[in-house]
Amino acid sequence: MNTGFGKIVWWGFSPALNFLNESYISDRSERMKMSDEKMESLHILVVGAADSRHLLKTIAKSYEHTNLPFEMYVVENSIESYARQLMLLGIAFEQAKSLQEKTELLLEVFGNTLIRQSTLNYIQNKSSELIRMVTDFEELKQKMPFINLEALKYKERDSLESVFKFWRNPDSTLFDISKYWDLRLRHLLGPRFDSRDGVFDWDYNMKILNKGASIISSSEYKYWRKTGIAFHLREGDYNGPNKTLTSEHENQQYIRRGYWGDVVSSPYLAFGIECEDKEYLKKSNNIHCKTAQDVSARNVTAMMYELKYSRPYKNCTENIFGEREENHKGDLNMFQISFLPVNFISDLNKKACYQKLFDIVYFSNSMVHHFVPEFSTLLKRNAVVLVETAKFILDLTSEQEAEYIKKVTNMAEAAGCEYLDCMAVRWSAAIENEATEVGKEGTGGIL
């Protein structure tokens, strides 16, 4: 494995999206303004997002559309990704913790190779709870009624249980992630490993900064490259292995368990490079006053707040440190997250129940090759398709990035789509005499 991208994607390479953004549901927004009645459910397909950032942000912002139910369908290429997303969703909807505790816990699990002992204990306890959920759907309905695992095969449910059992095992020696991180770096850098500080400095100055992610500070980026620790939000010892980052790599002779994820781009991209509060992006003497960790903590806290109280977050300090037992004020019946079988995207168009179902589709850059002409049969009239660009895949040259965009554009055209320069955000298409829009988000690496 000679790329920094890795074999498995643990975090996305673009900021979190709100799928209920006015740009994506403009036709429904007009109807909602004219009627207070409950609308027909919106169907969203999320292909290869790798983490729960889009799911959480969409649910957090759903209070803006109180009469619009929606269902998100998730497809990934590994069972470990499903397990990790369930863990992150479980943290976000945890009732027994304050907003600050949930923010710190989520970011640690999300982006750190090494975690505090308290976080390690939480993962072990939560894994036992998740085992009960995936093996007993009645338990799942009680604890997380918005999660639907019924489409998963029995073999996949068994695999989920096995993953959670491994996470639950208190023996830290079973997964020496510091060793695996070091091996990934040595394999990636080869003879340059001894001068890795210079490599990290080059990648930061010539790639990260040139991509417009200067909010990521040089010190935090280099520290993450060396150790795999992105978020150091609390004083304490970060010495426990984050087992949610483990996966299996199969070669011709045997299966190895280790760390096969990103060691170049960083987990800061998901929550740490964009912010609604522009105060967090201010500069003084051309240097950012905040870091990507600060922005990430602010954005995740805002999501946790909006999930809990169903109202806008405006740097509120109320109840961030306390009030742990209040129930979620949003309507959990207004949305659902359905996990489809692993790698099921190639079989979706063969199932009648998914024909012309989806209003919004998201493709990550690692799974956009599934955007084939046959996929258009799944799109509803006026559907929107979002495709993640390769902007923050640092292994690629600018020419390769341009070639990627060209290929994606050709794929869209092959699916019957036609580019529209409408505020630089939309494609439009005629498929079987029905208009299908394929959207793009220009900032933050979304095509």
Q: Domain ranges in the chain? A: 82-309, 343-445
Contact predicate 218/239, CB 8 Å: no
d(CA 396, CA 401) in angstroms, rounded, equals 6
Strands (E), 207-314: 240-241, 247-250, 255-258, 283-284, 287-288
Q: According to the model, what pLDDT value does residue 447 have?
A: 53
pLDDT per residue as tens, the chain (447 positions): 458 888 899 999 999 999 998 878 876 655 555 555 567 899 999 999 999 999 999 999 999 988 889 999 999 999 999 999 999 999 999 988 999 999 999 999 999 999 999 999 999 999 999 999 999 999 999 999 999 999 999 999 999 999 999 999 999 889 999 999 999 999 999 999 999 999 999 999 999 999 999 999 999 999 999 999 999 998 889 999 999 999 987 765 677 889 999 999 999 999 999 999 999 999 999 999 999 999 999 999 999 999 999 999 976 554 454 444 454 556 678 899 999 999 999 899 899 999 999 999 999 999 999 999 999 899 887 788 899 989 999 989 989 999 998 998 888 888 877 664 433 234 444 333 333 345 443 334 445
Q: According to the model, what pLDDT value does residue 53 have?
A: 96
Q: According to the model, what pLDDT value does residue 252 have?
A: 57
Q: According to the model, what pLDDT value does residue 33 have?
A: 53
Contact predicate 437/429, CB 8 Å: yes
pTM above 0.95? Answer: no
d(CA 65, CA 29) in angstroms, rounded, equals 8
**Cβ neighbourhood burial of 125 (10 Å; 0-12, 13-18, 19+):** exposed
Q: According to the model, what pLDDT value does residue 432 have?
A: 36
Burial 305-344 (b: 16+ CB within 10 A, else e): bbbbbbeebeeeeeebeeeeeeeeebeeebbbbbbbbbeb
Amino acid at 79: I
Contact predicate 17/362, CB 8 Å: yes
